[in-house]
Amino acid sequence: MSRIVRLSIIFYTAWRFNLFGLIRDNLRPGVRRFFLGLIASTSPSQLPRGERIRLALEALGPIFVKFGQVLSTRRDLLPDDVSNELAKLQDRVPPFSNEQSKAIIEKALGHPIEVIFSSFDATPVASASVAQVHFGVLRGNETHPEWANQEIAIKVLRPGILPVIESDLALMHDLARIVEKVSEDGRRLKPREVVAEFDTYLHDELDLMREAANASQLRRNFADSDKLMIPEMIWDLCHTNVIVMERMYGVSIGKTDELRAAGVDFKKLAIDGVEIFFTQVFEYGFFHADMHPGNILVSLDPNTFGRYISLDFGIVGNLSEFDKNYLAQNFLAFFNRDYRRVAELHIESGWVPANTRLEELEGAVRTVCEPYFDRPLKDISLGIVLMRLFQTSRRFKVEIQPQLTLLQKTLLNVEGLGRQLDPDLDLWKTAKPILERWVSQQLGLRGLIDGLKKEAPNWAKILPTLPRLIAENLEQVHRKEQRPEFDLLKQLLIDERRKRRQWLGIALFLSGFLVGALLVLVRIHSI
């Protein structure tokens, strides 16, 4: 019954914001007649379609707001006006009560608040759909004297959130199946795939231990950085629904007036932000994928002045070596106007059907990329280029990987922040050295040497066993075929192994003799 009521609310909200009119032309003929009454009875709205969709999602609650945020990253599926409007969605959720927050923390940590914290601010400093954050000061103890007077932040999972999420997700899965059946364009939009992707992101955010582990990995990657700071996790106080971390002091990157008044160098800040992002992507293949102004601070402390501070690590992206190679070479080929290489990379990646004509794909890529070269490099958006390439790829039945759409969304965020700080930021000039250095490391002589070093431990184990493995394999073949040449080869291998043992014995004898002689000489010298 509750699902029926909730579904009724969803349909009422869609009618209220005239969303049925948006899908009228894409409905199958039989379904279209059914919806004509709803469409006709909907009051016409003068608002743009993107704004109507955003307002409808806000009216449906925090889970639908978060879904809209994720949907805004799929610019390969949605029109620009809708994507841009959905990107404005932000969690505006009232905090849960102080008593609930304290009870959750005490249950997770196994002690009263007063035992662990010398002070605790029950009023949250931030509240979102999944969790809220409090500040406090730790109390030292015999096991952890270093905790004394340490300022920390405590993130607490919203109570009772899982049943709400599961209920709304079940409805989203149902709606996705309906859209796919009634809409002629439903299959192209892949609604079930998008909802499944959102399902994964949301459940990842519900496990705060995963967020703590993500933060720890990023902190380790940038341990020696003079550009980025990540809070340290207090692991003994971290659980699936409560995590405790070092408190970070800074000003939101969105508060440009306050940063400018403090004397922050915006040009340097913009360049540092681009370098941090591309280093995360191409050096480590592990990047913070929720880089909106609320999650990025700038330090004003004299010892760390001008450094970035990252927060909230519920959503991160992972790239394989294959993904990094694909992206780096695509960017370099694009700026060298080598469209044939871009097309070849699409085919080599295996994401384009093998029967795709290279010349046809090259022409499509040229159509996408060539208009950008009428602009200065500083005006070219790598995020938009990547999005256009993804959109073009769909014509050739390419299935774009989720980690790449997450990267594209984050890249757009980074570009937006960078150009907000410095309108003249030349993103390519900043990123190109990083890309070229990475490609050189992976594909040049240095890459070959590094690869050999990396594989050396594995080869050290395999090489000594090769003669035995070859002999055993030949023995099996010999049993099957009884061919004399295999007997000869086997005998040669056995003789070779015998000689190696003999030489090894001689070497050990000589080594022992030399060591003994040295010991005797040392003994005589000491006397």
Point out the residues that are catalytic. 290
Place of tokens 């070959």: 448
Strand blocks (E) in 80-138: 117-120, 126-127, 131-138
413, two tokens: 């965020």
Closest CA to 105 of 211, 208, 248: 208
CA distance 305 to 299: 5
Closest CA to 411 of 392, 435, 394: 435
Contact 313, 295 (CB under 8 A): no
Contact 174, 153 (CB under 8 A): no
Contact 316, 289 (CB under 8 A): yes
CA distance 495 to 490: 9
Contact 31, 49 (CB under 8 A): no
DSSP state of 247: -
CA distance 321 to 319: 7
CA distance 16 to 10: 10
CA distance 287 to 279: 9
CA distances 278 to 252, 268, 407, 479, 488, Å, are 21, 16, 11, 57, 57
CA distance 152 to 321: 36
Q: Please compute Rg for the chain using Cα positions.
A: 30
362, two tokens: 């090259």
